[in-house]
């Protein structure tokens, strides 16, 4: 096979893997949008907050240490213990569920029956609050996240492709893990939503509030559930992105990568988020590969949006999105 | 007085029980609009109770008070002898009160079967964790519910559309699916807001038959809003008549039919 083609194939594979990462973030948006019609601006910050909390718990950081020290004149930063990754992840999940309950009790509960734009603005408020709150709680410095996921280039893939084509593909181990996790996550969410009692209730709420109430579903419980699941997805995304590039403010900007994915896949479709993520991932990597050198590179920053815009013109509801209803 | 607590026998031999629900001095206001003015009546166990009245009389509002969608501004609701505190609709549903809507509220994106299955949510025991960790038990439970739902599907004769997304069904069938979903909850009391509106004669006859059959077979208490007087006369044991938010008649169908106030309301005689 010609080198150019093999190289393009490698780029494409890398694009697929990047796409999975985008899809992970987009998934969080879709879940909340489907169940409550809210575009959750805070989803990216949720991932940042989850990653910060995970690192903090793992390393035995004292929450609000800065605040405590400032008030009491002490100089504590760490408890002096470390928490095993698995336990730390579970504890972080607990924190995300608690956060979901707080959000429902303090914000959503009071905004029932408000127009979507009000709810959207509330999530903007939440995003900035949570960003600051995360800083106060865990400190604003850049942190390294290591939950024991394999790092570096996969030698298995490299040697296998080398044997096959005489050209070894460079694929990140972490990307492979992320792909497997994403597949498992989507499978689990699909099974949950199709076959469990709560999943059915969740779909019912997403479809019609009145009817959901009439069959005995508590909207508030479902909202807490949805935000908890979104928190869980944010945690997974936070772990993957945090392991890749460290835990810092820029992690919350992955939400910006999810936006074109949503425009492409539709706001209401889980498969749409996945396929949209893959198209964007592959598209931007291939475009950079072929057109980047011609127009001076750095196309990855904007290509996704252009692709999504072009798409939007022809299919406003996205690939798999439901037809746009005037009510939305 | 004894009849009040002990119930009575109908002409066609059905046994009507004691008072299941009592509405006492219900008033409901929306800002300046008074939708219900100081209305009291009771609903007996096993009874088919109709609410009739001209458009805008407050019938749907009354049903919404019973189902917890509206909280009455004044007055109290008594169910099985206990006063009901302010309740959310989902809590009322969990008490065994199911309903349908005047403007059909189904889950359009789901299949007929899934729609009806949601009706059983309140009866499902398996919680979130047991479902995640103990698939066998949860799956077994799902099968049991499926069986019950299939019986309802047979009963309402909608076998051939069980996999169809509800959004694609014609109006008459949607109404039937909505009834099926309400029935799936095995309710003690069933609230039907104009279940036959917009149906042709044949569909209406089917619906009448279903309502009579389920009342007869399962002893379900039914509160029904209906404009078709023929249907009301045929189906109901007792009728409440509303006009401009007030109760202007209450009793067996033929008695109500001959009530002068009711005749005036329907003929549009001006109020003094
Ligand atoms: N949510 C609401 N907000 C404000 N006003 C309302 C509301 N619901 C009902 N009303 C008013 O209360 C009055 C009674 O309405 P309701 O829907 O109960 O009448 P109805 O007897 O069911 O009429 P129809 O036969 O047309 O269904 C009407 O004047 C209506 O405009
Ligand atoms: Mg009405």
In a domain, A196, yes or no: yes
A210 contact B CB<8A:
yes
Distance CA A13, CA A6 (A): 11
- Per-residue pLDDT band at B51 (split at 50, 70, 90): very high
User: What Å distances lie between residue B255 and B154, B252, B268, CA to CA?
Assistant: 37, 5, 20
Pairing of strands B33-44, B48-52: unpaired
Q: What is the pLDDT of residue A328?
A: 37
Residue A323 lies in a domain: no
Place of tokens 């047979």: B154
On the question of pLDDT at B7 being above 80, the answer is no
Q: A212 contacts in B (CB within 8 Å)?
A: 107, 118
Local confidence band at B84 (pLDDT 50, 70, 90 cut-offs): very high
Q: How far is A224 from chain B (nearest CA, A)?
A: 13
B98 contacts A207? CB cut-off 8 A:
no
Mean pLDDT of chain B: 89
Residues 165-184 of chain B whose Cβ lies under 8 A from any Cβ of chain A: 181-182
pLDDT, residue A1, reads 62
Strands B48-52 and B238-243: parallel
Whether residue A321 is contained in a domain is answered as: no
State residue B136's pLDDT score. Answer: 59
Complete DSSP assignment for B212-229: HHHHHHH--EEEEE-S-H
A52 within some domain: yes
Across the 328 residues of chain A, what is the mean pLDDT of every consecutive 10-residue run? 82 89 87 83 93 94 89 87 94 96 92 84 94 92 89 86 85 89 86 83 87 92 91 93 88 85 86 90 91 83 89 81 51
Q: A79 lies in a domain?
A: yes
Q: What is the pLDDT of residue A187?
A: 85
Q: What is the pLDDT of residue B271?
A: 52
Which of A192, A204, A214 comes nearest B89 by C-beta?
A: A214
Q: What is the pLDDT of residue B82?
A: 93
Among the listed ranges A21-30, B8-17, B196-205, B234-243, which one has the minimum average pLDDT value? B8-17
How wide is the angle at C-alpha A254 spanned by C-alphas A251 and A256, nearest 5°? 135
Classify residue A322: in a domain, yes or no. Answer: no
Q: Please list, residue by residue across B164-181, b when 16 or more beta carbons sit within 10 angstroms of its beta carbon and e when fewer do.
A: eebeebeebbbbbbbbbb
| Domain region containing A142 | 3-314
Let me know if residue A88 belongs to a domain.
yes
**With 70 as the cut, is the pLDDT of residue B130 above it?**
no
What per-residue confidence (pLDDT) applies to B154?
Answer: 95
Record the tokens describing residue B203, joined without a space.
Answer: 């569909």
Work out how many domains chain A is built from and give that number.
Answer: 1
Measured from the CB, is residue B60 less than 6 Å from ligand 1? yes
Q: Is residue B103 lining ligand 1, measured as CB closer than 6 Å?
A: no
Phi, psi of A37 (to 5 degrees): 70, 15
Would you call B117 an interface residue with chain A, using a CB distance cutoff of 8 Å? yes
Say if A305 falls within a structural domain.
yes
Is the predicted pLDDT of residue B1 greater than 80, yes or no?
Answer: no
- For the cut 90, the answer to whether the pLDDT of residue B63 exceeds it is yes
- For ligand 1, say whether the CB of B54 is within 6 Å of any of its atoms: no
Show residues of chain A in contact with B168, CB under 8 Å.
Answer: none
Atom 30 of ligand 1: nearest residue by CA position: B56
At residue B3 the predicted structure's pLDDT band, cuts being 50, 70 and 90, is very low
Ligand 1 atom at minimum distance from B58 CA: 18
Domains of chain B: 1-93+236-272 (3.40.50.300)
A317 in contact with chain B, both atoms CB, cutoff 8 A = no
Calculate how far, in angstroms, residue A32's C-alpha sits from the geometric centre of ligand 1.
33
The two tokens of residue A100 are 């979901």
Question: Is A252 in contact with A28 (CB distance < 8 Å)?
Answer: no
Chain B, 184 to 243: residues with Cβ < 8 Å from chain A are: 185
């Amino acid at each position: 096979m010609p080198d150019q083609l093999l190289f393009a194939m490698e780029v494409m594979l890398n694009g697929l893997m990047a796409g999975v990462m985008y899809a992970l973030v987009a998934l969080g948006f879709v879940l909340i949008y489907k169940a409550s019609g809210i575009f959750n601006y805070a989803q990216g910050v949720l991932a940042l907050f989850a990653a910060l909390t995970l690192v903090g718990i793992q390393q035995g950081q004292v929450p609000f240490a800065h605040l405590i020290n400032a008030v009491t004149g002490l100089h504590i930063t760490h408890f002096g213990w470390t928490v095993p990754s698995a336990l730390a992840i579970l504890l972080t999940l607990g924190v995300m569920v608690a956060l979901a309950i707080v959000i429902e009790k303090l914000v959503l509960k009071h905004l029932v029956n408000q127009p979507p734009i009000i709810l959207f603005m509330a999530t903007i408020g939440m995003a900035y609050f949570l960003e600051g709150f995360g800083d106060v709680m865990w400190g604003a410095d850049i942190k390294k996240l290591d939950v024991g996921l394999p790092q570096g280039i996969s030698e298995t893939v490299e040697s296998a492709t080398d044997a096959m084509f005489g050209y070894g593909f460079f694929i990140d181990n972490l990307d492979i893990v992320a792909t497997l996790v994403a597949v498992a996550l989507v499978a689990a969410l699909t099974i949950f939503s199709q076959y469990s009692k709560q999943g059915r209730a969740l779909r019912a709420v997403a479809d019609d509030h009145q009817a959901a109430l009439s069959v005995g579903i508590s909207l508030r419980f479902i909202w807490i559930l949805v935000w908890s699941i979104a928190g869980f997805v944010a945690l997974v995304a936070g772990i993957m992105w945090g392991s890749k590039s460290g835990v810092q403010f820029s992690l919350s900007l992955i939400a910006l990568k999810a936006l074109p994915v949503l425009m492409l896949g539709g706001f209401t479709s889980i498969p749409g988020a996945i396929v949209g993520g893959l198209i964007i991932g592959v598209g931007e990597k291939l475009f950079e590969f072929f057109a980047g050198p011609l127009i001076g590179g750095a196309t990855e920053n904007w290509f996704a949006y252009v692709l999504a815009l072009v798409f939007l013109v022809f299919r406003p509801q996205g690939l798999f999105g439901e037809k746009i209803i005037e009510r939305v | 007085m004894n009849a009040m607590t002990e119930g009575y026998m109908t002409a066609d031999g059905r046994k009507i029980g004691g008072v299941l629900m009592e509405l006492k001095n219900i008033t409901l206001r929306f800002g300046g609009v008074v939708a219900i003015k100081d209305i009291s009546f009771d609903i007996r166990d096993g009874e088919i109770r109709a609410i009739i009245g001209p458009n805008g009389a407050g019938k749907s509002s009354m049903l919404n008070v019973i189902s917890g969608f509206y909280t009455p501004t004044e007055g109290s609701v008594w169910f099985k002898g206990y006063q009901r505190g302010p309740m959310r609709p989902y809590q009322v549903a969990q008490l065994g009160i199911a309903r349908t809507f005047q403007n059909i509220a189904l889950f359009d994106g789901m299949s007929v079967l899934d729609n009806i299955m949601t009706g059983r949510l309140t009866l499902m025991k398996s919680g979130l964790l047991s479902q995640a960790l103990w698939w066998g038990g949860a799956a077994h439970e799902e099968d049991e519910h499926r069986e019950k739902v299939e019986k309802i599907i047979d009963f309402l004769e909608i076998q051939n559309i069980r996999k169809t997304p509800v959004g694609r069904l014609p109006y008459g069938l949607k109404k039937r699916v909505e009834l099926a979903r309400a029935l799936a909850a095995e309710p003690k009391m069933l609230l039907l807001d104009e279940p036959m509106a917009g149906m042709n004669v044949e569909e209406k006859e089917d619906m009448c038959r279903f309502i009579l059959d389920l009342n007869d077979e399962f002893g379900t208490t039914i509160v029904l809003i209906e404009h078709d007087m023929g249907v009301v006369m045929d189906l109901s044991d007792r009728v409440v008549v509303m006009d401009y938010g007030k109760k202007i008649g209450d009793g067996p169908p033929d008695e109500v039919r001959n009530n002068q106030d009711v005749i005036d309301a329907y003929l549009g005689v001006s109020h003094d």
